[in-house]
Structures are given as structure tokens and as C-alpha cells.
Amino acid sequence: MKQGSGARIFRSTPRNLAMLARKLQNGALVGVPTETVYGLAANALDSVACRRIFRVKGRPSTDPLIVHIHNHDQLTSIATTNPVAELLANQYWPGPLTLILPKKPCIPDIVTADLDSVAVRMPSHPIMRRLLRECGLPLAAPSANIFGYVSPTTADHVKTGLGRKIGYILDGGPAQIGLESTIVDARNPSKIRVLRPGAVTPEQLSRTIGALVIEYRPKRAQVSDNQVSPGLLKQHYSPKAQVLLHKDLNHGHVGKLSPKEACLYFSKPKFIRNKQSYWLCQNNNQAEAARNLFGQLRSLDKQGFKVIHAELAPAGPMAAAINDRLRRAAAH
């Protein structure tokens, strides 16, 4: 156990897991590891605890939370499924896929921002699964960052952002995937669509259900779009530094850099042109780049850079998810 101001970081010993499960049952908030990013968890059936999540993050109450479950019984207790949703759950759970489904009354309105649907995910992180089993409750958990800032991929990131506002963080090591889950609107089985790209791609989803699944891309933020997934449109994952996007930093014109400007290459360049060069992966490895993205953005902020010239990911399995997060960061 590491101790400091505010939150304590707990290792996943059986004793600590039992203690944290009890805290959650009694209404406390706990920073939790998942395979995508760290979450800020509370009992999803406890409206008072869930309201605190919004306060602690500074998150508007119009932005609904994802509910994390341990097993299929919990799914049917909180949401109404359909055969296509079952197919997707069967194929991708536990894992980085969130399904939007009609909600059941046991889920408080604060969790879903008054929508009649609920976002549900069964995470695969073994420590998170043990915690979910131990507390026997569905856990509402958004990413454990101050609203609008870069999502956390380590327990220390959670402590840096929320450490003064929460008491407990469960350490599960660095997040394996590093980007938030793919969110899929699965309410209408004949019109499955991706609302947020993640590690599970539309191509994979299409193959699973035997029908075309596309990413829903609103052209401009409209009221009707906002109702599809409140929070997703405006939400940024922004470092403090200004992010400028480049298709290809090796051949692009970034000009002469001031000491406050960094270059964030997708893959380690053959010729490193200056000391301010950073990269997301070594050998065009997309999974590695996804895993490192948020940590790199945080680290460049910490080093005091004011501008980050970031290179978009080339075509590949994680490109849509990585570029979605980079574009949001640049939209700051």
C-alpha cells in the first residue's frame, strides 16, 4: 500500500479487494483498473454515490455513465437485451465493448442522465473482475479523470487527477489497451452502430452479426445528435498543451521548433531531428501506440510543452480509435 495526500493506492491482495468491495457496498467511490482505462467506480444502484462521481469529476449531469458488470445475470437485471446484443456480448465480453440498451428501472436516472437507455460493459481486467465478483453489484464508472482531461491509464494518473477528492485507488498495473471501449448502440437489432471507436472495430462487429456496422459520424453537433450519445460530441480528451495534427511528420512542415514545442511521431522515426521528438510505438505497432497515447500526452504536459505536433495513425486496426482521440485533443 502506498500512502500520500488523499487517495491511497491499494494492491490487489484478497484482503484489500474484500475491503474495497465493502467500501463500494457502503457508497464509497474507488478508482479501479480496467483493460481500457482506469474508472471511477460507485455502486450503480446507489443514486447518492453515483451523484458524487459527477461532483468529483466535475462532469455535467447530462453525460451518462457506463455500468460495469460481472456476469450475464447482471446484464438482464439492468437492461433489456435482444438477440443481436446477446451475440455481441457473447463474442466480445468480457472485453472492451460497451452496449447501449433499454434500461430497467433499478438503474437510477442520475446514471443514465435521464435517458431510457443504459450503457453496459463487462470488463476483462482480472483484478476488476475479482472486485466486481466480490462486491456483487453493478458498478457505474466513467474514466477516472477530471472531466475533459486525458483519461488515466495507470493508478498514478488517477491519483494525480483525483487523489485529493477520493480515498481509494485499486492498482491493476498499466492499462493493456489504453483507449476507452468501443461504444455500440444495440437498441435496434437491425441498425447496430458504433458511437465511439475503440479496440473492437466496425469490421469485426459486422463479421460477428453478419450485417454492416458503421460508425455514426454526425457532421455537426445538433440537438438530435446529442440525444444519440450525450457527452460524446463535445467531450475532449485534451492535454493542457495545444495539439496540432499532422498526416506525416517525417515529410510535413513543422518548421523550426521552439523549445516549448514537441513532435509526437506515431512510430519511432529513422532520423531523429531534434531533442523534442517523441513517439507512440517502435515499429508501427498499433496496439502499442494505443497503449501509450494517453501516457505520452500526460508526460508532454508534465514536461511543460505548450504545443504538441501529433502525427495521425496510418491505416490499421487501432487507427480509427487513436485518431478519434487525437482529433478530440486537437479540438481543445
* Region of 63-71, 160-168, 252-260, 262-270 interacting with ligand TXA (CB under 6 A): 63-71
Shortest distance, position 100 Cβ to ligand TXA, whole Å:
5
Is residue 166 within the footprint of ligand TXA (CB under 6 A)? no
Residue with cell 447501449: 100
Give dist(CA 9, CA 170) in Å, integer: 6
Q: Which three cell numbers stand for residue 231?
A: 457527452
Give dist(CA 166, CA 159) in Å, integer: 9
The number of residues that bind ligand TXA (CB under 6 A) is 28
Is residue 43 within the footprint of Mg ion (CB under 5 A)? no
Is residue 143 within the footprint of Mg ion (CB under 5 A)? yes
* Region of 64-72, 245-253, 294-302, 312-320 interacting with ligand TXA (CB under 6 A): 64-72
Q: Are strands 214-215 and 242-246 parallel, antiparallel or unpaired?
A: unpaired
Residue with cell 500512502: 3
Is residue 31 within the footprint of ligand TXA (CB under 6 A)? no
Closest CA to 197 of 247, 139, 237: 237
Q: Are strands 242-246 and 261-267 parallel, antiparallel or unpaired?
A: unpaired
Respond yes or no on whether the N-terminal peptide bond of residue 259 is cis (omega within 30° of 0). Answer: no
Which residue, 37 or 313, has its beta carbon nearer to Mg ion? 37
H or E element at residue 311: strand 307-311
Which residue, 24 or 66, has its beta carbon nearer to ligand TXA? 66
H or E element at residue 300: helix 286-302
* Region of 1-9, 73-81, 154-162, 175-183 interacting with ligand TXA (CB under 6 A): 175-183
Which residue, 114 or 248, has its beta carbon nearer to ligand TXA? 114
Is residue 142 within the footprint of ligand TXA (CB under 6 A)? yes
* Region of 60-68, 213-221, 252-260, 293-301 interacting with ligand TXA (CB under 6 A): 60-68
Shortest distance, position 159 Cβ to ligand TXA, whole Å:
16
Closest CA to 262 of 290, 303, 295, 314: 303
Which residue, 177 or 281, has its beta carbon nearer to ligand TXA? 177
Closest CA to 142 of 134, 157, 152: 152
- Report CA torsion sign: 190, 193, 198, 204: positive
Closest CA to 181 of 71, 280, 82, 65: 65
Is residue 117 within the footprint of ligand TXA (CB under 6 A)? yes
Q: Which three cell numbers stand for residue 131?
A: 472486485
Is residue 182 within the footprint of Mg ion (CB under 5 A)? no
Q: Which of 10, 20, 21, 121 binds ligand TXA (CB under 6 A)?
A: 121
Shortest distance, position 48 Cβ to ligand TXA, whole Å:
19
Which residue, 36 or 143, has its beta carbon nearer to Mg ion? 143
* 114 contacts: CB under 8 Å, gap ≥ 6: none
Q: Which residues bind ligand TXA (CB under 6 A)?
A: 34, 36-37, 39, 63-66, 98, 100, 112, 115, 117-119, 121, 141-143, 180-181, 183, 195, 229-232, 235
Q: Which residues bind Mg ion (CB under 5 A)?
A: 143
